[in-house]
Amino acid sequence: MCGIAALATTGETKKQTVRILLEALRSLEYRGYDSAGLAVYDEDEGRIKVWKRKGKVETLVRLLRGVRISAPIGIAHTRWATHGVPNEVNAHPHLDCRGEIAVVHNGIISNYLELKKELIEKGHVFKSETDTEVFAHLFEEEMKSKEPFEAFKSAISKLEGYYAIVAITSKDPERVFFARKESPLIVGKGSDLNMVSSDIASLLRYCSKVAPIEDGEVGWLTWREIYVEKNGERVAVGERFFRPPWTPEQATKGNFPHFMLKEIHEQGTAVKETLMSISTDPRVKEVLELLEGRVVVVAAGTSLHAGMVFSYALGKLLGKDVILLDSSEAYHLEKLLKDTVIAISQSGETYDTLKAVRIAKRNGAKVIGVVNVLGSTLDREADISLYTRAGPEIGVAATKTFLSQVTLLLYLVSRMSGVELKDPHLLVESSIRKSIGYARSLAERLKEKQSMFVLGTGASLPIAYEGALKIKEISYVHAEGYPAGEAKHGPIALAEEGFPVLIAWTPEDEEKLQVAKEEFASRGSEVYWVGPRGDIVAPESDWLHLPFTITPPFQLLAYYMAVLKGYDPDKPRNLAKSVTVH
Ligand code: G6P
């Protein structure tokens, strides 16, 4: 994970370099927040200056308050620790021995120990435990005999693993060097600056056009030029540039206290826009033909739950069996990854999902990507991309992107089955209105609990899994989604006085849920019902539309549990929104 951002600029904007990089970091913080750091070339002093702090970007913002610097180039980083504990020494940017090179990196350099040993033998002195610092010294070593870009490329060629790396050197204070292998990297063009970053959202405010950098590409940018090459040949990236479909305002909190609450409330619009876009998408025709054959779905986290909704609906309406694979496990079953593979991913950058996609492509499969971020790796590697139109999702816990994925996938089901999706956005909006007060009061009662079950059956089971995931992710209360009937085969051993059980309603088999309720209640459990006439009230609906009515109450419950416990729901501990490592 980790988020990286860099820029090259000119004129008066040089005085804004630090501020612009901090703004980019704020927007990239969903990628990790173990530490944050920034390095710029201070043109008055003629040297690189670095600031880093353990913890969130705000600590770095405080550290830099009052700092006035004119800097033509700068790099910044927000970290999700892989190698080395999250402290200030291990925070990026990392420097070479002389402080003339600064590097930020997202990914893993797998041969860093061998490289480090060689570099130590040559006299380099290391300060951190990170794999990244190796690159600063490697670059330094190469600079002894080469001009900066040649040295950068040569250093890159020695790396194994995967990375997005950005570096600056005081020996070349107009250029920012970058390279990509598997970890995301996007370049952006602005009026008097150019930028490079891990995602599009962080570029929105300053860049009118963006373009993804592809695997194996290396390059540099100055304020007026972006140069890219691959295997020693110049790559013309001009045609790759596009106008981002999002506005900078979409990536702000507006009047909401947290992104998560804003994004929950944006779900009606996200669902509506996704439905409008997919129902006029010409690629759907080909997708529907592909779906007539054997279908495998790969996805992770919340996206996997959207895949469950899809596979349940296809099974129920058409008797069609879809193989659903958790993408982190899919590679074990590589022979299954053939024919038509649907990869669902909000970010389009989840490492495990991309790994499954690459195996599928090697096996000759047709890959359909269901993705929210245009220009992401999945978008580019899939044979056909279908887009959810949720806008940028900043809260780490996925909310609006889940219901957008569900909308898109159920639209495909509706086209295949002839069963119509009816105004799902209105159901979402009514669900939020109806359930918000109840969710908040139940959160008061549940916030101090240690553990709970969320039971569902049929169409409500994927929502029970998703509801439990939301609760775990942001309130740190152990919550386990479980099939209601299966709960008596083991889990019920946990039932005791005060043990909470939430039940996700479905119209398909209320009786089964009632039985589960009695089984737990008779053993002292506190049982809470989520649905029409429930402890959290949600609108009535048929099973097909159930995700739109009972998902928001669980999201709101999780949100209020986190907030009432004093946690930041937008940045849950240990998590990152986009998991680009395996
Ligand atoms: C991370 C996030 C989850 C997300 C999952 C898959 O674990 O914390 O919220 O559902 O990745 O992400 P994707 O971008 O592939 O949908």
Question: What's the pLDDT score for residue 191?
Answer: 92
Q: Residue 501 pLDDT > 80, yes or no?
A: yes
Work out the average pLDDT over 276-298: 97
Which residues, listed in sequence order, are joined to residue 177 by a DSSP beta bridge? 167, 220
Report helix, strand or coil for 103: strand
Mean pLDDT of 394-422: 97
Q: What mean pLDDT is predicted for residues 335-344?
A: 97
Cα 370 to ligand 1 centroid, rounded to whole Å: 13
Query: With the C-alpha atoms ordered 460, 507, 342, 31, is the resulting torsion angle positive or negative?
Result: negative
Length in residues, the chain: 582
* Closest C-alpha to 31, from 388, 375, 351: 351
Please state the atom number of ligand 1 nearest to the C-alpha of residue 576: 8
* Torsion region of 226: left, alpha or beta (phi above 0 gives left; psi -120 to 50 gives alpha): beta
Average pLDDT, integer, range 508-523:
95
Give the DSSP letter of residue 218.
E
- Ligand 1 touching residue 340 (CB < 6 A): no
pLDDT score recorded for residue 489 = 93
Q: Is the CB of 302 under 6 A from ligand 1?
A: yes
Q: Would you state the pLDDT for residue 578?
A: 74
- Catalytic positions, please? 2, 577
CA distance 258 to 395: 8
Tell me the average pLDDT across 296-306.
98
Beta strand pairing call for 94-95 and 101-109: antiparallel
Instruction: State the pLDDT confidence band at 27, using cuts at 50, 70 and 90.
Output: confident
Question: In the beta sheet, which residues pair with residue 178?
Answer: 166, 219
Cα gap 568→400, rounded to integer Å: 18
* pLDDT tens sequence across 173-184: 999 999 999 889
pLDDT of residue 575: 81
- Rounded to the nearest integer, the mean pLDDT of the chain is 95
- Kindly list the distances between the CA atom of residue 379 and the CA atoms of 78, 216, 346, 388, in Å, as whole numbers in the listed order: 24, 17, 10, 12
Please choose from 30, 305, 327, 346 the residue to mutate so as to test ligand 1's pocket, defined by most ligand atoms within 8 A of CB: 346
Q: Does the beta carbon of 395 lie inside 6 Å of ligand 1?
A: no
Tell whether ligand 1 has an atom less than 6 A from the beta carbon of residue 347: yes
89 exposed, middle or buried (CB, 10 Å; 0-12, 13-18, 19+)? middle
Does residue 581 register a pLDDT over 90?
A: no
Q: In terms of DSSP bridges, do strands 366-371 and 451-456 run parallel, antiparallel, or are they unpaired?
A: unpaired
Residue with tokens 């737990």: 520
Tell me if 128 sits within 8 A of 90, measured CB to CB.
yes
Q: Is the CB of 577 under 6 A from ligand 1?
A: yes
Taking 90 as the threshold, does the pLDDT of residue 82 lie above it? no
Measure the CA–CA gap between 68 and 300, rounded to whole angstroms.
Answer: 43
In terms of Cα–Cα distance, which of 288, 267, 289 is closest to 279? Answer: 288
Burial 349-366 (b: 16+ CB within 10 A, else e): bbbbbbbbbebbbeeebb
Report the atom number in ligand 1 closest to the C-alpha of 401. Answer: 16
One-letter amino acid of 76: A
Cα–Cα distances in angstroms (integers) from residue 173 to residues 9, 137, 170, 456, in the given order: 11, 18, 5, 59
Ligand 1: nearest atom to the Cα of 405? 16
**Taking the chain, what is the end-to-end CA distance rounded to the nearest angstrom?**
10
pLDDT in tens, 211-232: 999 999 999 999 999 999 999 9
What value does the CA radius of gyration of the chain take, rounded to a whole number of Å?
A: 25
Tell me the torsion sign for CA atoms 151, 157, 158, 162.
positive
Confidence (pLDDT) at 451: 96
Task: Give the position, in ligand 1's atom list, of the atom nearest the Cα of 303.
Answer: 16
Q: Give the pair of three-digit tokens for residue 222.
A: 């100055």
Window from 68-82, 531-545, 550-564 with minimum mean pLDDT: 68-82
The residue type at 219: G
| 63-80 pLDDT tens trace | 999 999 999 999 999 988
Q: pLDDT at residue 558 above 80?
A: yes
Average pLDDT over residues 533-548: 96
What are 247-275's pLDDT values in tens digits? 888 888 889 999 999 999 999 999 999 99
Given a cut of 90, whether residue 564 has pLDDT beyond it is yes
Q: How far is the CA of 41 from the centre of ligand 1 (A)?
A: 35
The protein residue with its alpha carbon nearest to ligand 1, atom 8, reads: 577
pLDDT for residue 245: 85
Q: Mean per-residue pLDDT for 363-385?
A: 95
Best substitution site from 578, 580, 581, 582 to test ligand 1's pocket, by max atoms within 8 Å of Cβ? 578
Structure tokens at 255: 């009047």
Q: Is 346 in the pocket of ligand 1 (CB under 6 A)?
A: yes
